[in-house]
Amino acid sequence: MSRRFTPKVVTANDLLEGDVIYLTEDDRWSRNHSEAELIEDEAHADIRLIFASKQANKVVGPYLADARPGPNGPEPVHFREEFRTRGPSNYYHGKQAEPAN
């Protein structure tokens, strides 16, 4: 018996900047997880992953990540994906940097 499909988002890293990005329903790449397309059908997920994989000039390492519906869009399910939404783990870079006072 096969496992039931769980909702997914397509994620990758931006080729030039390295930031974590998410594929949106309108074929854009967003740095905001809540803008990602929440995919609830396995066949559609496969099609979206193929679409992402063909964008080697924009993204690196696209894959499907488990997600769940949330009040403001998809939310990560696993710690790894939650961690990736926060940006680089080195202190003064990316989404973790605070604006200069």
Q: Tell me whether residue 25 is in a domain.
A: yes
Q: Tell me whether residue 84 is in a domain.
A: yes
Q: Among candidates 79, 80, 85, 92, which has minimal Cα distance to 22?
A: 85
Residue 85's pLDDT is what? 85
Q: Tell me whether residue 27 is in a domain.
A: yes
Q: Is residue 75 predicted with pLDDT exceeding 50? A: yes
Provide the residue range defining the domain that includes 69.
Answer: 12-89
In the chain, how long is the greatest CA-to-CA distance?
Answer: 58
Angle at 67 between CA 62 and CA 73, to 5 degrees: 105
Residue 101's pLDDT is what? 47
Question: What's the pLDDT band for 61 if we cut at 50, 70, 90?
Answer: very high
Average pLDDT over residues 21-43: 97
Top-confidence residue, 32 or 82: 32
Q: Tell me whether residue 4 is in a domain.
A: no
**H or E stretch covering 57:** none
Residue 80's pLDDT is what? 86
Percent of the chain with pLDDT over 90: 70
Average pLDDT over residues 71-92: 81
Q: Tell me whether residue 5 is in a domain.
A: no
Q: Tell me whether residue 35 is in a domain.
A: yes
Q: Tell me whether residue 98 is in a domain.
A: no
Q: Tell me whether residue 79 is in a domain.
A: yes
Average pLDDT over residues 57-85: 93
Q: Please tell me the total count of domains within the chain.
A: 1
**Mean pLDDT of all residues in the chain?**
89
